[in-house]
Structure 1
Amino acid sequence: MCQDTPANVDREDQLVADEPVETDSEADLESLLSETTSIKSSMLQYRQENGRTYHKYKDGHMQHEIFYLTWDGKLGVTPPCEPDAKVGRVLDLGTGSGLWAIEFGDLHPEAEVLGMDLSPTQPSDIKAFEAVTQDRSTDCIATHRVPPNVKFEIDDFDEDWLYSQPFDYIHSRIINGGVGDWKKLIKKAYDNLQPGGWFEIQESEFSPAADDGTLPPEKALSRFAVLVRDAVKAFGRPFVEVPTLKDILTEVGFEDVALTRYKWPTNPWPKDPKHKRIGEWNFHNFAGAVETMALAPLTRVHGWTKEEVLVFSAEVRKDLRDPKVHAYFPIYTVVGRKPLKAATPAAATETAPAETSA
């Protein structure tokens, strides 16, 4: 489907299509999906080119690596993510496996990093990290030892925050569909930041698009996105339109608010090398997970059978691999800085909840 650029976007990627290479058969798709060795090598090479060590690849790291590639080897776009930045307290909302928090702690040993998530999937030490990876299929780098400056807590970011000290940087990534009230969340981030502190939202709204009309609504990929978004809404946590968050940050009181729209191609169709690589990685990231993503929404909400989901998933993968479909997933950053003269409410200085030591 075609998607107009939101009027309040400050910057977005521009993509040009390369000459397509035909991949028509399901065998072609299976061949592409089986190329994990070359993908791992590509990731390792990119890490080494950017002066970083990548110890051991685990399935599920790919999304983290695509973000890393998108921002040219950085973990975010705000000043605290610059290599020479000196950062104090950092909060990672919806930390998941804890990979972002661990890597930020490695890069900034002076920082105090706290990862918050409702599910207990974060490691407390290297043995726990490996056990979680094995027993729960959690997406972790098992060879990364948790730095001493990184801690995790099991908590719900939709509930009240009662931290003993404010933060210098608050980060969230891909929590859309899991937030009860975005305005309340953004207000809590504002209240719990030091004056001059940054809030960075890295987000998707699961709405694949093609600027040249090569992804019409009748395509399986287009229908899949609509079905999933409708199901998430029925579950009570609808996807927010990410560009609307920019106005909320401004309304709450943030300054230097900026919205940037990135494009993750569905396969290596773009001409420029960076987005061609992103497309290759994103195809592997998404195509292998289609059935898992589709099963619960389509069976529980839409009443499909498992067999119908499997057939439909194959159609979705066909659209994903088609180089004539110049589709991409929009990815956004929404950032803002708390004014230097702003006050930090008393709520941010009350007794902190227990923080699990790493």
Structure 2
Amino acid sequence: LVHNLYLRTFDDQLGTAPPNEPNSKVGRVLDVGTGSGIWAIDFGDEHPEADVVGIDLSASQPSFTPPNVRFEIDDIEEPWTFSQPFDYIHSQMMKGSIRDWQTYLKQCFDNLSPGGYLELNDVDGFPTSDDGTLTDDCNLMKAFRLCFEALAALGSPFEEFSRFEGIMSEIGFEDVHIRRFKWPTNSWPKDQRHKELGIWNHENLAPHLEGLLMAPLTRALDWTREEVSLLAMEARKDLADRSIHAYFNIWSIHGRKPLKIEES
């Protein structure tokens, strides 16, 4: 569902960086946190000239893949040991999984070929609304506040994603671009594009809300499973309420490693 949400958000392209433009050619590609592997497989199908590597902590990818796609089990927070650099690194929905973003982004930079691209796609932690219909005291906001409080206590704070634009520039990326999109919480929007995105987003989030909350709240805040289940049930009501015009900000940031790196 998340893959389809991004496809619809990006007008049926697999990303916003130049390697996704029609007729673009790319060599080595790294998909970080590949999950089911669907992005890597689709990119490999679209780019038969590319060598696509998907990495994740666990093996949950299909055994049948295009000949130019392979998967590896690896921890991206450990030092990277790839034998060759990449022309394009794709990193999607990694917030909450990375403890040290400065180090992570520097490792991405160091493992790119000169002229190579890094693309980050992720969601802001808190939903918001433009008309005040989403209030701070509603259960949906309470659920996310507690979740991020717990994640911070567990050592994985949910970072403000838009700030990575500045960090990428500091590390040395050039031509850094940031774009914002919206994923509504349900079908409340009037325009068809965002209504459809809201339907997909609700179908993706609602069934998994309890699972999203369970581990952080029980481990860090000493909640019981029953308390988490009750909060998730109340938060799902807000998520489905079409009178609450809420949405999540979705950010896409990409930047290029310079062709020449000045020696310090």
Same-fold call, TM cutoff 0.5? yes
What are the residue-to-residue correspondences of 1:293-304 with 2, within 5 Å? 293-304=212-223
Alignment partners' CA distance in 2, 1:292 and 1:162? 33
1:162 equivalenced with 2:101 (yes/no): no
> What residue is the counterpart of 2:211 in the other structure?
292
Instruction: State the alpha-carbon separation in 1 of the partners of residues 70 and 101 from structure 2.
Output: 25
**What amino acid is aligned across from residue 94 of structure 1 in structure 2?**
G
Q: Where does the alignment leave 5 or more consecutive residues of structure 1 unmatched?
A: 1-61, 127-145, 345-358
Corresponding residue to 2:57 among 118, 140, 149:
118
* Higher RCO (C-alpha under 8 Å, 6+ residues apart): 1
Q: In structure 2, the residue corresponding to 1:289 is in which secondary structure? A: helix
Provide the residue aligned with 1:98 in structure 2. 37
Hey, what does 1:307 align to over in structure 2? 226
How far did 1:310 drift?
Answer: 2.2
Separation in structure 1 between the aligned mates of residue 183 and residue 111 of structure 2, nearest angstrom:
32
RMSD over aligned Cα, in angstroms? Answer: 1.4
Indicate the residue corresponding to 1:44 in structure 2: none
In the aligned structure 1, how far is the partner of 2:77 from the partner of 2:37?
19
The aligned counterpart of 1:354 is none
Counterpart of 2:155 in structure 1 is: 236
Q: Distance in 1 between matches of 2:181 and 2:174?
A: 22
Q: TM-score, normalised by structure 2?
A: 0.96
8 A contact 2:125–2:160 mirrored in 1: no
Is 1:226 equivalent to 2:158 in the alignment?
no
What CA distance in whole angstroms lies between the structure 2 residues aligned with 1:122 and 1:321?
A: 32
Counterpart for residue 81 of structure 1? 20
1:269 and 2:188 are equivalent in the alignment: yes
User: Conserved in 1, the CA contact under 8 Å of 2:44 and 2:50?
Assistant: yes
Cα offsets for 1:254-311 (capped at 9, x unmatched): 1111121211000011111111100011111111111221222222222222222222
Contact 2:25 2:47 in 1 (8 A): yes
1:326 aligned residue? 245
What is the CA deviation profile of residues 297-334 of structure 1, one whole-angstrom value per residue up to 9, with x for unaligned ones? 22222222222222222211111111111101111111
What's the offset of the Cα at 1:343? Answer: 7.4
- Secondary structure of residue in 1 paired with 2:12: coil
Task: Write out the 4+ residue segments of structure 1 that deviate beyond 3 Å after TM superposition.
Answer: none
In structure 2, the partner of 1:174 is 93
1:237 is matched by which residue type in structure 2?
A: S
Q: Pick the structure with greater CA Rg.
A: 1
Cα deviation, 1:66-94, whole Å, max 9, x if unaligned, reads 01100010110011012311110001111
Is residue 47 of structure 2 the alignment partner of residue 108 of structure 1? yes
* CA pair 339-264 structure 1, distance change in 2 beyond 3 A: same
TM normalised by structure 1 equals 0.71
- The partner residue of 1:194 within 104, 110, 113 is 113
TM-superposed CA distance for 1:152, in Å, is 1.1
Shift of 1:230: 0.8
Q: How many residues align?
A: 263
Please say if residues 121 and 252 of structure 2, whose CA atoms lie closer than 8 Å, have aligned partners that are also in contact.
yes
* Amino acid in structure 1 at the alignment position of 2:34: T
Aligned to 2:170: 251
Query: SS of the residue aligned with 1:233?
Result: helix
C-alpha distance in 2 between matches for 1:180 and 1:217: 27
Is contact 1:195–1:343 with CA below 8 Å preserved after alignment? no
Q: Which residue of 2 aligns with 1:21?
A: none
Q: Please, which runs of 5 or more residues in structure 2 have no aligned partner?
A: none
The structure richer in strand per residue is 2
> Match for 1:338 among 240, 257, 260?
257
Match of 1:171, SS state, is strand
Inter-partner Cα distance in structure 2 for 1:256 and 1:270: 33
Counterpart Cα distance in 1 of 2:233 and 2:83 = 50
300-309 vs 319-328, which moves further: 300-309
Letter in 2 for 1:98: G
Q: Is the 8 A contact 1:194 1:338 kept in 2?
A: yes
Q: Percent sequence identity over matched residues?
A: 51
